[in-house]
Amino acid sequence: MPVSVTMPRLGESVTEGTVTRWLKQEGDTVEVDEPLLEVSTDKVDTEIPSPAAGVLTRIVVGEDETAEVGSELAVISGEGESAGSGGGEAGGQEQEAPAEQAAEAAQEPQAEAEQSAVEEPAEQAAPAQSGEGTPVQMPALGESVTEGTVTRWLKQVGETVEVDEPLLEVSTDKVDTEIPSPVAGTVLEIKVPEDETAEVGATLAVVGAAGGAPAEAKPEPKPEAKPEPQAKPEPKVSEPTPGMSYNEPAAEAETAQEPVKAEQAAQPAAATPQREAASANGGGQAAGYVTPLVRKLASEHNVDLASLNGTGVGGRIRKQDVLDAAEKARSAKAAPAAASQPAAAATRPAEKPQPSAKRGTTEKLPRIRSAIAKRMLSSLHEMAQLTTVVEVDVTKVAKLRAQAKESFQQRHGVKLSFLPFFALAAIEALQAYPIVNASMDLEGGTITYPDSENLGIAVDTERGLLVPVIHNAGDLNLGGIAKRVADLAERTRTNKISPDEIAGATFTLTNTGSRGALFDTPIVPSPQSAMLGTGVVVKRPVVVNDPDLGEVIAVRQMVYLALSYDHRLIDGADAARFLTAVKQRLEAGNFEAELGL
Protein backbone atom coordinates (compact mmCIF):
# COMPACT_ATOMS: atom_id res chain seq x y z
CA MET A 1 0.00 0.00 0.00
CA PRO A 2 1.47 3.40 -0.97
CA VAL A 3 2.71 5.57 1.92
CA SER A 4 2.50 9.36 1.83
CA VAL A 5 5.50 11.44 2.94
CA THR A 6 4.24 14.64 4.57
CA MET A 7 5.89 17.85 5.76
CA PRO A 8 6.47 17.40 9.52
CA ARG A 9 5.98 20.08 12.15
CA LEU A 10 9.51 21.36 12.79
CA GLY A 11 8.69 23.55 15.79
CA GLU A 12 5.74 25.20 17.44
CA SER A 13 5.83 28.38 15.34
CA VAL A 14 6.86 26.72 12.06
CA THR A 15 3.99 26.51 9.55
CA GLU A 16 5.84 25.71 6.31
CA GLY A 17 9.15 24.54 4.88
CA THR A 18 11.05 24.73 1.61
CA VAL A 19 12.41 21.62 -0.12
CA THR A 20 16.08 22.42 -0.74
CA ARG A 21 17.24 19.07 -2.12
CA TRP A 22 15.86 15.62 -2.92
CA LEU A 23 18.35 12.95 -1.83
CA LYS A 24 16.37 10.30 -3.74
CA GLN A 25 14.75 10.51 -7.17
CA GLU A 26 11.65 8.86 -8.61
CA GLY A 27 12.31 5.16 -9.11
CA ASP A 28 14.98 4.93 -6.40
CA THR A 29 14.61 2.41 -3.60
CA VAL A 30 14.64 3.72 -0.03
CA GLU A 31 14.92 2.12 3.41
CA VAL A 32 12.98 2.99 6.55
CA ASP A 33 14.43 6.12 8.20
CA GLU A 34 16.86 6.67 5.31
CA PRO A 35 17.24 10.42 4.56
CA LEU A 36 14.84 11.22 1.73
CA LEU A 37 15.06 15.00 1.28
CA GLU A 38 16.38 18.17 2.88
CA VAL A 39 14.00 20.86 4.12
CA SER A 40 14.74 24.43 5.17
CA THR A 41 12.64 26.63 7.45
CA ASP A 42 13.26 30.09 8.89
CA LYS A 43 14.67 28.38 12.01
CA VAL A 44 16.55 25.27 10.96
CA ASP A 45 17.69 23.09 8.03
CA THR A 46 17.07 19.37 8.46
CA GLU A 47 16.68 16.04 6.71
CA ILE A 48 13.33 14.26 6.40
CA PRO A 49 13.63 10.46 6.74
CA SER A 50 11.54 7.97 4.83
CA PRO A 51 8.58 6.64 6.86
CA ALA A 52 8.61 3.30 5.01
CA ALA A 53 10.75 1.05 2.84
CA GLY A 54 9.97 0.76 -0.86
CA VAL A 55 10.31 2.72 -4.08
CA LEU A 56 9.94 6.49 -4.43
CA THR A 57 7.21 6.49 -7.07
CA ARG A 58 6.20 10.15 -7.10
CA ILE A 59 7.66 13.50 -5.98
CA VAL A 60 4.87 16.00 -5.31
CA VAL A 61 6.88 19.07 -4.18
CA GLY A 62 9.98 19.89 -6.22
CA GLU A 63 13.18 21.54 -5.08
CA ASP A 64 12.98 25.22 -4.05
CA GLU A 65 9.21 24.87 -3.60
CA THR A 66 7.47 25.61 -0.29
CA ALA A 67 4.90 23.36 1.37
CA GLU A 68 2.75 23.77 4.47
CA VAL A 69 3.03 21.52 7.49
CA GLY A 70 1.07 18.30 6.90
CA SER A 71 1.00 18.60 3.11
CA GLU A 72 2.13 15.71 0.91
CA LEU A 73 5.74 15.79 -0.34
CA ALA A 74 6.08 12.39 -2.03
CA VAL A 75 4.63 8.88 -2.34
CA ILE A 76 6.48 5.65 -1.51
CA SER A 77 5.13 2.33 -2.78
CA GLY A 78 6.13 -1.24 -2.11
CA GLU A 79 8.60 -2.78 -4.52
CA GLY A 80 5.88 -4.85 -6.21
CA GLU A 81 3.30 -2.06 -6.30
CA SER A 82 2.48 0.13 -9.27
CA ALA A 83 3.00 3.89 -9.12
CA GLY A 84 -0.37 4.59 -10.74
CA SER A 85 -3.32 2.97 -12.43
CA GLY A 86 -1.96 0.26 -14.72
CA GLY A 87 -3.24 -1.16 -18.00
CA GLY A 88 -5.17 -4.37 -18.59
CA GLU A 89 -2.18 -6.62 -18.06
CA ALA A 90 -1.38 -4.93 -14.77
CA GLY A 91 -5.00 -5.15 -13.73
CA GLY A 92 -5.06 -8.88 -14.46
CA GLN A 93 -1.99 -9.36 -12.35
CA GLU A 94 -3.54 -7.41 -9.50
CA GLN A 95 -6.68 -9.57 -9.62
CA GLU A 96 -4.64 -12.74 -9.45
CA ALA A 97 -2.51 -11.41 -6.62
CA PRO A 98 -4.95 -12.18 -3.73
CA ALA A 99 -5.14 -15.85 -4.65
CA GLU A 100 -1.38 -16.10 -5.05
CA GLN A 101 -0.77 -14.25 -1.79
CA ALA A 102 -3.16 -16.58 0.04
CA ALA A 103 -1.34 -19.61 -1.33
CA GLU A 104 2.03 -18.16 -0.40
CA ALA A 105 0.79 -17.25 3.08
CA ALA A 106 -0.37 -20.84 3.61
CA GLN A 107 3.00 -22.19 2.50
CA GLU A 108 5.16 -19.76 4.51
CA PRO A 109 4.90 -21.46 7.95
CA GLN A 110 5.67 -24.88 6.47
CA ALA A 111 8.57 -23.51 4.39
CA GLU A 112 10.04 -21.66 7.35
CA ALA A 113 9.77 -24.77 9.53
CA GLU A 114 11.51 -26.92 6.89
CA GLN A 115 14.24 -24.36 6.35
CA SER A 116 14.95 -23.96 10.05
CA ALA A 117 15.03 -27.75 10.45
CA VAL A 118 17.62 -28.06 7.65
CA GLU A 119 19.84 -25.07 8.47
CA GLU A 120 19.87 -25.15 12.27
CA PRO A 121 19.35 -28.70 13.55
CA ALA A 122 21.84 -28.31 16.40
CA GLU A 123 21.08 -24.77 17.46
CA GLN A 124 17.35 -25.37 17.65
CA ALA A 125 17.71 -28.25 20.08
CA ALA A 126 17.41 -25.86 23.01
CA PRO A 127 13.98 -24.17 22.69
CA ALA A 128 12.57 -26.34 25.43
CA GLN A 129 15.10 -24.94 27.88
CA SER A 130 14.98 -21.34 26.59
CA GLY A 131 11.65 -20.78 28.26
CA GLU A 132 13.32 -21.17 31.65
CA GLY A 133 15.74 -18.31 30.97
CA THR A 134 15.49 -14.52 31.30
CA PRO A 135 14.54 -12.62 28.12
CA VAL A 136 16.81 -9.80 26.93
CA GLN A 137 14.59 -7.11 25.43
CA MET A 138 15.22 -4.16 23.13
CA PRO A 139 15.30 -1.12 25.47
CA ALA A 140 13.77 2.28 24.76
CA LEU A 141 16.78 4.30 23.56
CA GLY A 142 15.00 7.66 23.39
CA GLU A 143 11.49 9.09 23.35
CA SER A 144 11.10 8.98 19.56
CA VAL A 145 13.01 5.72 19.00
CA THR A 146 10.71 2.80 18.22
CA GLU A 147 13.18 0.20 16.93
CA GLY A 148 16.84 -0.70 16.71
CA THR A 149 19.13 -2.79 14.50
CA VAL A 150 21.35 -5.50 15.97
CA THR A 151 24.80 -4.68 14.58
CA ARG A 152 26.90 -7.28 16.41
CA TRP A 153 26.48 -10.08 18.94
CA LEU A 154 29.32 -10.00 21.46
CA LYS A 155 28.25 -13.37 22.88
CA GLN A 156 27.06 -16.49 21.06
CA VAL A 157 24.75 -19.37 22.03
CA GLY A 158 26.37 -21.51 24.70
CA GLU A 159 28.71 -18.81 26.03
CA THR A 160 28.59 -17.56 29.60
CA VAL A 161 27.86 -13.94 30.44
CA GLU A 162 28.06 -11.86 33.63
CA VAL A 163 25.53 -9.35 34.95
CA ASP A 164 25.84 -6.03 33.06
CA GLU A 165 28.46 -7.52 30.71
CA PRO A 166 27.96 -6.23 27.13
CA LEU A 167 25.90 -8.78 25.25
CA LEU A 168 25.27 -7.15 21.88
CA GLU A 169 25.56 -3.87 19.99
CA VAL A 170 22.46 -2.03 18.76
CA SER A 171 22.17 0.89 16.35
CA THR A 172 19.29 3.36 15.98
CA ASP A 173 18.91 6.52 13.91
CA LYS A 174 20.22 8.48 16.90
CA VAL A 175 22.81 6.39 18.71
CA ASP A 176 24.97 3.26 18.64
CA THR A 177 25.16 1.50 22.00
CA GLU A 178 25.82 -1.76 23.82
CA ILE A 179 23.06 -3.74 25.53
CA PRO A 180 24.22 -5.38 28.79
CA SER A 181 23.01 -8.74 30.07
CA PRO A 182 20.33 -8.37 32.78
CA VAL A 183 21.46 -11.58 34.54
CA ALA A 184 24.46 -13.87 34.82
CA GLY A 185 24.27 -17.22 33.06
CA THR A 186 24.48 -18.82 29.65
CA VAL A 187 23.13 -17.56 26.33
CA LEU A 188 20.45 -20.12 25.51
CA GLU A 189 18.96 -18.59 22.38
CA ILE A 190 19.48 -15.64 20.03
CA LYS A 191 16.15 -14.55 18.56
CA VAL A 192 17.24 -11.54 16.46
CA PRO A 193 20.35 -12.14 14.32
CA GLU A 194 22.83 -9.48 13.26
CA ASP A 195 21.73 -6.76 10.82
CA GLU A 196 18.04 -7.37 11.60
CA THR A 197 15.73 -4.79 13.17
CA ALA A 198 13.53 -5.27 16.23
CA GLU A 199 10.94 -3.05 17.86
CA VAL A 200 11.34 -1.65 21.36
CA GLY A 201 10.30 -4.33 23.87
CA ALA A 202 10.95 -7.23 21.52
CA THR A 203 12.93 -10.20 22.89
CA LEU A 204 16.46 -10.27 21.48
CA ALA A 205 17.84 -13.31 23.31
CA VAL A 206 17.30 -15.63 26.25
CA VAL A 207 19.86 -15.98 29.06
CA GLY A 208 19.49 -18.94 31.44
CA ALA A 209 21.27 -20.23 34.51
CA ALA A 210 24.93 -21.18 34.16
CA GLY A 211 25.24 -24.59 32.50
CA GLY A 212 21.68 -24.45 31.15
CA ALA A 213 22.67 -24.39 27.47
CA PRO A 214 22.40 -27.66 25.51
CA ALA A 215 25.59 -29.56 24.90
CA GLU A 216 25.13 -29.69 21.14
CA ALA A 217 23.93 -26.08 20.81
CA LYS A 218 27.23 -24.86 19.34
CA PRO A 219 29.21 -27.47 17.40
CA GLU A 220 31.92 -25.02 16.30
CA PRO A 221 35.21 -25.01 18.27
CA LYS A 222 34.83 -21.29 18.97
CA PRO A 223 33.47 -21.53 22.55
CA GLU A 224 36.46 -23.48 23.84
CA ALA A 225 38.82 -20.93 22.30
CA LYS A 226 36.94 -17.96 23.77
CA PRO A 227 39.03 -16.00 26.30
CA GLU A 228 37.96 -15.25 29.86
CA PRO A 229 34.81 -13.11 30.38
CA GLN A 230 36.91 -10.03 31.22
CA ALA A 231 37.96 -9.78 27.56
CA LYS A 232 35.28 -7.26 26.67
CA PRO A 233 35.25 -5.36 23.35
CA GLU A 234 36.57 -2.20 24.99
CA PRO A 235 39.80 -1.36 23.13
CA LYS A 236 39.30 0.76 20.02
CA VAL A 237 41.10 -0.90 17.10
CA SER A 238 40.72 1.08 13.91
CA GLU A 239 42.71 -1.38 11.75
CA PRO A 240 42.87 -4.78 13.47
CA THR A 241 46.02 -6.82 12.92
CA PRO A 242 45.46 -10.13 11.09
CA GLY A 243 45.31 -12.92 13.62
CA MET A 244 43.86 -10.69 16.38
CA SER A 245 40.21 -10.95 17.41
CA TYR A 246 38.22 -7.70 17.64
CA ASN A 247 37.23 -8.68 21.17
CA GLU A 248 40.71 -9.52 22.52
CA PRO A 249 43.54 -7.32 23.80
CA ALA A 250 46.89 -7.70 22.02
CA ALA A 251 48.52 -9.52 24.94
CA GLU A 252 45.86 -12.23 25.00
CA ALA A 253 45.92 -12.60 21.21
CA GLU A 254 49.63 -13.46 21.35
CA THR A 255 49.07 -16.23 23.92
CA ALA A 256 45.97 -17.73 22.28
CA GLN A 257 45.95 -21.36 21.16
CA GLU A 258 47.21 -22.25 17.68
CA PRO A 259 43.82 -23.42 16.31
CA VAL A 260 42.31 -20.09 17.30
CA LYS A 261 45.09 -18.17 15.56
CA ALA A 262 44.56 -20.14 12.37
CA GLU A 263 40.80 -19.56 12.46
CA GLN A 264 41.16 -15.82 13.16
CA ALA A 265 43.88 -15.37 10.53
CA ALA A 266 41.60 -16.90 7.93
CA GLN A 267 38.72 -14.49 8.65
CA PRO A 268 40.34 -11.25 7.38
CA ALA A 269 41.67 -13.07 4.30
CA ALA A 270 38.21 -14.38 3.47
CA ALA A 271 36.64 -10.98 4.03
CA THR A 272 39.04 -9.19 1.66
CA PRO A 273 37.30 -10.15 -1.63
CA GLN A 274 33.95 -9.12 -0.16
CA ARG A 275 35.29 -5.71 0.88
CA GLU A 276 36.96 -5.16 -2.49
CA ALA A 277 33.65 -5.94 -4.19
CA ALA A 278 31.87 -3.63 -1.78
CA SER A 279 34.27 -0.79 -2.59
CA ALA A 280 33.73 -1.30 -6.29
CA ASN A 281 29.97 -1.07 -5.85
CA GLY A 282 29.74 1.85 -3.49
CA GLY A 283 31.60 0.91 -0.34
CA GLY A 284 29.59 0.68 2.83
CA GLN A 285 26.24 0.46 1.13
CA ALA A 286 27.27 -2.74 -0.66
CA ALA A 287 28.76 -4.25 2.50
CA GLY A 288 25.37 -4.30 4.19
CA TYR A 289 22.87 -1.98 5.79
CA VAL A 290 24.40 1.35 6.84
CA THR A 291 22.44 2.94 9.66
CA PRO A 292 21.19 6.52 9.27
CA LEU A 293 23.48 7.58 12.13
CA VAL A 294 26.57 6.19 10.38
CA ARG A 295 25.53 7.70 7.05
CA LYS A 296 24.94 11.11 8.66
CA LEU A 297 28.25 10.98 10.53
CA ALA A 298 30.06 10.22 7.28
CA SER A 299 28.40 13.19 5.60
CA GLU A 300 29.21 15.54 8.48
CA HIS A 301 32.88 14.51 8.62
CA ASN A 302 33.32 14.26 4.82
CA VAL A 303 34.20 10.57 5.02
CA ASP A 304 33.79 8.48 1.86
CA LEU A 305 32.05 5.25 2.88
CA ALA A 306 33.45 3.53 -0.21
CA SER A 307 36.99 3.98 1.14
CA LEU A 308 36.32 2.30 4.50
CA ASN A 309 36.86 -1.30 5.55
CA GLY A 310 34.18 -1.85 8.17
CA THR A 311 35.00 -3.72 11.35
CA GLY A 312 31.46 -5.02 11.71
CA VAL A 313 30.05 -8.35 10.59
CA GLY A 314 30.83 -9.04 6.91
CA GLY A 315 32.73 -5.75 6.63
CA ARG A 316 29.80 -3.68 7.90
CA ILE A 317 30.75 -0.05 8.53
CA ARG A 318 30.15 1.04 12.11
CA LYS A 319 30.06 4.42 13.83
CA GLN A 320 33.58 4.01 15.22
CA ASP A 321 34.95 3.29 11.73
CA VAL A 322 33.71 6.67 10.51
CA LEU A 323 35.03 8.51 13.57
CA ASP A 324 38.44 6.84 13.27
CA ALA A 325 38.64 7.75 9.58
CA ALA A 326 37.70 11.37 10.30
CA GLU A 327 40.33 11.59 13.06
CA LYS A 328 43.00 10.18 10.74
CA ALA A 329 42.08 12.70 8.06
CA ARG A 330 42.30 15.57 10.54
CA SER A 331 45.66 14.38 11.85
CA ALA A 332 47.07 13.95 8.35
CA LYS A 333 45.88 17.41 7.40
CA ALA A 334 47.17 19.08 10.55
CA ALA A 335 50.65 17.47 10.50
CA PRO A 336 51.93 19.10 7.27
CA ALA A 337 50.37 22.42 8.26
CA ALA A 338 52.07 22.34 11.67
CA ALA A 339 55.40 21.34 10.12
CA SER A 340 55.24 24.14 7.55
CA GLN A 341 54.37 26.91 10.03
CA PRO A 342 57.94 27.60 11.28
CA ALA A 343 59.32 27.73 7.74
CA ALA A 344 56.51 29.99 6.57
CA ALA A 345 57.01 32.33 9.52
CA ALA A 346 60.71 32.59 8.70
CA THR A 347 60.14 33.51 5.04
CA ARG A 348 57.27 35.98 5.34
CA PRO A 349 55.52 37.79 8.21
CA ALA A 350 51.94 36.75 7.38
CA GLU A 351 50.09 34.29 5.15
CA LYS A 352 48.29 35.87 2.23
CA PRO A 353 44.60 34.90 2.19
CA GLN A 354 43.56 32.77 -0.78
CA PRO A 355 40.83 34.11 -3.10
CA SER A 356 37.45 32.47 -2.64
CA ALA A 357 35.94 30.32 -5.38
CA LYS A 358 32.71 32.34 -5.04
CA ARG A 359 34.26 35.48 -6.56
CA GLY A 360 32.34 36.50 -9.67
CA THR A 361 29.43 34.11 -9.06
CA THR A 362 25.73 34.47 -8.24
CA GLU A 363 23.84 32.00 -6.05
CA LYS A 364 20.30 31.63 -4.79
CA LEU A 365 19.60 33.33 -1.46
CA PRO A 366 19.21 30.56 1.16
CA ARG A 367 15.97 30.61 3.10
CA ILE A 368 17.75 30.92 6.43
CA ARG A 369 19.80 33.92 5.23
CA SER A 370 16.62 35.54 3.94
CA ALA A 371 14.98 35.06 7.35
CA ILE A 372 18.01 36.57 9.15
CA ALA A 373 18.00 39.59 6.82
CA LYS A 374 14.30 40.29 7.36
CA ARG A 375 14.57 39.95 11.15
CA MET A 376 17.60 42.22 11.46
CA LEU A 377 16.01 44.92 9.33
CA SER A 378 12.71 44.59 11.18
CA SER A 379 14.47 44.90 14.55
CA LEU A 380 16.24 48.08 13.50
CA HIS A 381 12.96 49.61 12.28
CA GLU A 382 10.99 48.56 15.36
CA MET A 383 13.41 49.71 18.07
CA ALA A 384 15.36 52.79 19.04
CA GLN A 385 18.63 50.91 19.50
CA LEU A 386 21.56 52.26 21.46
CA THR A 387 24.88 50.69 22.57
CA THR A 388 26.82 51.31 25.79
CA VAL A 389 30.38 49.97 26.22
CA VAL A 390 32.48 49.36 29.34
CA GLU A 391 35.94 47.85 29.78
CA VAL A 392 36.50 45.15 32.37
CA ASP A 393 39.67 43.88 34.04
CA VAL A 394 39.37 40.06 33.96
CA THR A 395 42.87 39.30 35.25
CA LYS A 396 41.54 37.44 38.29
CA VAL A 397 39.19 35.39 36.10
CA ALA A 398 42.10 34.56 33.79
CA LYS A 399 44.20 33.31 36.72
CA LEU A 400 41.35 31.18 38.07
CA ARG A 401 40.74 29.77 34.61
CA ALA A 402 44.40 28.83 34.16
CA GLN A 403 44.43 27.22 37.60
CA ALA A 404 41.24 25.19 37.20
CA LYS A 405 40.94 24.41 33.46
CA GLU A 406 42.42 20.89 33.63
CA SER A 407 40.39 19.73 36.62
CA PHE A 408 37.30 21.45 35.17
CA GLN A 409 37.60 19.55 31.90
CA GLN A 410 38.07 16.25 33.73
CA ARG A 411 35.03 16.91 35.91
CA HIS A 412 32.64 18.36 33.31
CA GLY A 413 34.00 17.04 30.00
CA VAL A 414 34.27 20.49 28.35
CA LYS A 415 36.96 23.16 28.11
CA LEU A 416 36.72 26.19 30.36
CA SER A 417 36.63 29.41 28.33
CA PHE A 418 35.82 32.99 29.36
CA LEU A 419 32.28 32.73 27.96
CA PRO A 420 30.70 30.84 30.92
CA PHE A 421 32.04 33.53 33.31
CA PHE A 422 30.50 36.28 31.15
CA ALA A 423 27.22 34.34 30.90
CA LEU A 424 26.97 33.73 34.66
CA ALA A 425 27.71 37.38 35.48
CA ALA A 426 25.10 38.53 32.92
CA ILE A 427 22.45 36.13 34.27
CA GLU A 428 22.97 37.36 37.84
CA ALA A 429 22.73 40.98 36.64
CA LEU A 430 19.49 40.18 34.76
CA GLN A 431 18.00 38.86 37.99
CA ALA A 432 18.93 42.10 39.74
CA TYR A 433 17.79 44.38 36.88
CA PRO A 434 14.87 42.56 35.17
CA ILE A 435 14.08 45.53 32.92
CA VAL A 436 16.97 44.38 30.70
CA ASN A 437 15.33 40.95 30.43
CA ALA A 438 11.85 42.37 29.77
CA SER A 439 9.87 42.90 26.56
CA MET A 440 7.49 45.72 25.64
CA ASP A 441 4.20 45.69 23.74
CA LEU A 442 3.75 49.31 22.70
CA GLU A 443 0.32 48.80 21.12
CA GLY A 444 -0.97 46.81 24.08
CA GLY A 445 0.65 49.21 26.55
CA THR A 446 2.35 46.43 28.59
CA ILE A 447 5.80 45.43 29.84
CA THR A 448 6.38 41.70 30.44
CA TYR A 449 9.00 40.56 32.96
CA PRO A 450 9.76 36.86 32.39
CA ASP A 451 10.10 34.62 35.44
CA SER A 452 13.24 32.98 34.01
CA GLU A 453 16.40 33.96 32.17
CA ASN A 454 16.43 32.21 28.79
CA LEU A 455 19.90 32.95 27.46
CA GLY A 456 20.49 32.90 23.71
CA ILE A 457 24.04 32.10 22.55
CA ALA A 458 24.96 33.33 19.06
CA VAL A 459 26.71 30.55 17.09
CA ASP A 460 28.55 31.03 13.81
CA THR A 461 27.69 28.24 11.33
CA GLU A 462 28.23 27.63 7.63
CA ARG A 463 24.54 28.40 7.06
CA GLY A 464 24.62 31.70 8.94
CA LEU A 465 24.30 33.02 12.48
CA LEU A 466 21.97 30.90 14.63
CA VAL A 467 21.01 31.47 18.27
CA PRO A 468 20.27 28.34 20.35
CA VAL A 469 18.76 29.01 23.76
CA ILE A 470 19.70 27.88 27.27
CA HIS A 471 16.25 27.81 28.87
CA ASN A 472 16.11 28.54 32.62
CA ALA A 473 19.79 29.53 32.60
CA GLY A 474 19.36 31.11 36.03
CA ASP A 475 19.09 27.62 37.53
CA LEU A 476 22.57 26.58 36.31
CA ASN A 477 25.98 27.02 37.89
CA LEU A 478 29.20 27.75 36.01
CA GLY A 479 29.78 24.11 35.08
CA GLY A 480 26.21 23.64 33.92
CA ILE A 481 26.39 26.74 31.73
CA ALA A 482 29.70 25.62 30.20
CA LYS A 483 28.30 22.19 29.32
CA ARG A 484 25.09 23.62 27.86
CA VAL A 485 27.00 26.15 25.75
CA ALA A 486 29.33 23.46 24.36
CA ASP A 487 26.45 21.07 23.67
CA LEU A 488 24.23 23.61 21.94
CA ALA A 489 27.09 25.06 19.88
CA GLU A 490 28.18 21.63 18.65
CA ARG A 491 24.67 20.47 17.74
CA THR A 492 23.92 23.79 16.04
CA ARG A 493 27.03 23.57 13.85
CA THR A 494 26.26 19.94 12.92
CA ASN A 495 22.59 20.75 12.17
CA LYS A 496 21.28 18.53 14.98
CA ILE A 497 19.49 21.29 16.89
CA SER A 498 15.70 21.19 17.10
CA PRO A 499 13.60 24.25 16.17
CA ASP A 500 12.26 24.61 19.72
CA GLU A 501 15.84 24.92 21.01
CA ILE A 502 16.44 28.09 19.01
CA ALA A 503 13.28 29.85 20.18
CA GLY A 504 12.20 31.62 23.35
CA ALA A 505 15.31 33.65 24.25
CA THR A 506 14.78 36.63 26.57
CA PHE A 507 18.39 37.91 26.37
CA THR A 508 21.25 37.09 23.99
CA LEU A 509 25.01 36.85 24.43
CA THR A 510 27.30 37.09 21.38
CA ASN A 511 31.03 36.43 21.64
CA THR A 512 32.39 38.77 18.96
CA GLY A 513 35.86 38.40 20.45
CA SER A 514 36.08 34.80 19.20
CA ARG A 515 37.30 36.24 15.87
CA GLY A 516 39.55 38.89 17.43
CA ALA A 517 37.16 41.88 17.47
CA LEU A 518 37.61 44.37 20.33
CA PHE A 519 33.87 45.06 20.39
CA ASP A 520 30.92 45.73 18.11
CA THR A 521 27.40 47.14 18.38
CA PRO A 522 25.04 44.12 18.23
CA ILE A 523 21.55 44.41 16.74
CA VAL A 524 18.93 43.35 19.29
CA PRO A 525 16.59 40.66 17.90
CA SER A 526 12.90 41.42 18.52
CA PRO A 527 11.04 40.83 20.84
CA GLN A 528 14.09 40.91 23.15
CA SER A 529 15.12 44.27 24.54
CA ALA A 530 18.88 43.87 25.01
CA MET A 531 21.91 41.92 23.80
CA LEU A 532 25.44 41.74 25.24
CA GLY A 533 28.54 41.49 23.05
CA THR A 534 31.85 40.32 24.54
CA GLY A 535 35.09 41.35 22.86
CA VAL A 536 38.46 39.63 22.74
CA VAL A 537 40.46 39.40 25.99
CA VAL A 538 43.84 41.14 25.48
CA LYS A 539 46.84 41.94 27.65
CA ARG A 540 47.71 45.63 27.79
CA PRO A 541 49.15 48.15 30.25
CA VAL A 542 46.60 49.95 32.44
CA VAL A 543 46.73 52.16 35.53
CA VAL A 544 45.78 50.30 38.70
CA ASN A 545 45.66 51.29 42.36
CA ASP A 546 48.09 49.30 44.47
CA PRO A 547 47.54 49.42 48.28
CA ASP A 548 51.25 50.02 48.89
CA LEU A 549 52.48 51.77 45.74
CA GLY A 550 49.42 53.80 44.82
CA GLU A 551 48.74 54.29 41.12
CA VAL A 552 51.01 52.09 38.99
CA ILE A 553 51.05 50.83 35.41
CA ALA A 554 50.63 47.07 35.16
CA VAL A 555 49.89 44.49 32.48
CA ARG A 556 46.31 43.35 32.89
CA GLN A 557 43.84 41.15 30.96
CA MET A 558 41.17 43.49 29.60
CA VAL A 559 37.92 43.04 27.68
CA TYR A 560 35.22 45.35 26.29
CA LEU A 561 31.56 44.55 26.97
CA ALA A 562 29.00 46.19 24.66
CA LEU A 563 25.31 46.25 25.60
CA SER A 564 22.87 47.10 22.81
CA TYR A 565 19.34 47.83 24.05
CA ASP A 566 15.94 49.20 23.09
CA HIS A 567 16.04 52.80 24.30
CA ARG A 568 12.25 52.99 24.23
CA LEU A 569 12.15 50.65 27.24
CA ILE A 570 15.63 50.74 28.78
CA ASP A 571 17.16 54.05 29.84
CA GLY A 572 20.88 54.74 29.69
CA ALA A 573 21.02 54.60 33.49
CA ASP A 574 19.42 51.13 33.46
CA ALA A 575 22.01 49.93 30.94
CA ALA A 576 24.83 51.43 33.00
CA ARG A 577 23.62 49.77 36.19
CA PHE A 578 23.41 46.41 34.44
CA LEU A 579 26.91 46.71 32.94
CA THR A 580 28.35 47.89 36.26
CA ALA A 581 26.94 44.80 37.98
CA VAL A 582 28.52 42.55 35.35
CA LYS A 583 31.83 44.44 35.60
CA GLN A 584 31.99 44.23 39.40
CA ARG A 585 31.19 40.53 39.41
CA LEU A 586 33.94 39.73 36.91
CA GLU A 587 36.59 41.98 38.43
CA ALA A 588 35.96 40.60 41.92
CA GLY A 589 36.67 37.13 40.52
CA ASN A 590 34.87 35.27 43.29
CA PHE A 591 34.38 32.02 41.37
CA GLU A 592 36.45 29.69 43.54
CA ALA A 593 33.37 27.87 44.85
CA GLU A 594 32.04 27.39 41.31
CA LEU A 595 35.37 25.90 40.23
CA GLY A 596 35.88 23.69 43.28
CA LEU A 597 39.03 25.57 44.36
Residues 6+ apart with CB under 8 A from 7: 16, 17, 39, 48, 61, 67, 68, 69, 70, 71, 73
Using N-to-C axis directions, what is the helix angle for 419-432 and 572-588, rounded to 10°?
A: 130
DSSP state of 522: P
425 contacts 590 by C-beta, under 8 angstroms: no
Q: How far apart are CA 504 and CA 527, in angstroms?
A: 10
CA distances from 185 to 124, 225, 465 (A): 19, 18, 54
Residues 6+ apart with CB under 8 A from 236: 320, 324
506 contacts 453 by C-beta, under 8 angstroms: yes
The kind and range of the H/E element at 439 are strand 439-441
Residue 412 known to be catalytic: no
Angle (CA) 162-165-171 rounded to 5° is 145
Residue 67: name the closest of 45, 48, 39 by CA: 39
Beta-bridged to residue 5, according to DSSP, are: 74
Distance of CA 78 to the CA centre of its chain: 31
Q: How far apart are CA 298 and CA 321, in angstroms?
A: 10
Among 176, 381, 571, 574, the active-site one is: 571
Among 301, 412, 471, 567, the active-site one is: 567
Q: How far apart are CA 431 and CA 439, in angstroms?
A: 15
Residue ranges of alpha helices (H) inside 241-361 are 250-254, 258-280, 292-300, 319-347
Neighbours of 565 (CB within 10 A): 27
159 contacts 226 by C-beta, under 8 angstroms: yes
Neighbours of 30 (CB within 10 A): 21
205 contacts 179 by C-beta, under 8 angstroms: no
Residue 571 known to be catalytic: yes
DSSP state of 81: S
Q: How far apart are CA 545 and CA 360, in angstroms?
A: 56
554 contacts 544 by C-beta, under 8 angstroms: yes
Burial 432-462 (b: 16+ CB within 10 A, else e): ebebbbbbbeeeeeeeeeeeebbbbbbbeee
Active site residues: 567, 571
